[in-house]
Copies of this chain bind each other. A is one copy, B any other.
């Protein structure tokens, strides 16, 4: 089969013919239809310090995908539920099930997490093997949508870890996950959703997902504008999706007294925090978001998507065949893309 491979340490990803992967008794083999390209894939392409420490080439890249089941291990259909032909996506974090976090229902924080496309073979290939437990039905939804449920799930996790109905929400950073967060906040009944980004193109995507107000820090004083829009209170919930230290400062300042800051964007440097002024005297709650809750996030997301409460497709801006991975990586690097999709098969 075809596969996009990080073949050896160093920049780049190459297309290779590789053998069909073998699956164990509780795993399934999936024919990939669509796959999503993520900022993480850019790090892997560029072989930055994170990637060079984490990946052990050769490994097939890619962790966002949807397709159909073609074969099942002997125990994979124990419950008689999964059937060859089922349209599915999958949670890409393969967890141990036995550690403290797994036992507490916090599998998304499992210490032994093995991530597809990073720690084990991924989805930029004709086929991928997944544990049956990680498989999520997408039913009649297009696989193009299924292929972006992984990043959209990050947004669902970030937004719904708060009491959203009737609330005011600020989304800092309008990359694809930020744009999804805008749509999730609207679907979940937020009264006011403010989106902020330096990039006018991304702000347009946020508008398409339902943002009531767009702010651009280049010409808007974000914190001052948020206060104006909220009768001086600040917002109930800030979703920090930018990962910029300036985003952290804005997040803490723009949250209302007693409010909440959910942090997803991962900064590459440390941030100076005034705990007394910005957290303690404000009675703030901060929450660090990793992955998707396994599997509540997937259920909530499926409900929103099936009911038509969110349509994530406006965020998809580019589609490429597997062969054009270089082009796909380039448009992400250029910062002008929303979500970039690889069209793999059917």
Contacts and interface: CB of A to CB of B under 8 A. Distances in A.
Contacts of A300: 165-166
B281 A290 contact: yes
A217 to B, nearest CB: 19
Given A26-B75, A164-B189, A166-B304, A283 B275 contact: no
Contacts of A1: none
A108 B298 CA distance: 19
A141 to B, nearest CB: 14
A170 interface: no
A307 B243 CA distance: 30
A138 to B, nearest CB: 14
B283 A274 contact: no
Given A105-B105, A248-B275, A100 B160 contact: no
B295 A290 contact: no
Main secondary structure of the interface of A (DSSP, over half): loop
A109 to B, nearest CB: 5
Copies of this chain: 4
A188 B188 CA distance: 6
Contacts of A272: 270-273
Interface of A: 24-26, 74-75, 78-79, 81-82, 96-98, 100-101, 103-106, 108-109, 111-112, 133, 160, 164-168, 187-189, 191-192, 233, 243, 248, 256-258, 263-264, 266-268, 270-276, 279-290, 295-296, 298-301, 303-304, 306-307, 309
21 contacts: A24-B75, A25-B75, A26-B26, A79-B96, A82-B98, A98-B133, A103-B299, A106-B258, A106-B283, A109-B257, A165-B165, A166-B300, A191-B303, A191-B309, A243-B276, A263-B280, A264-B280, A267-B276, A271-B273, A272-B272, A280-B289
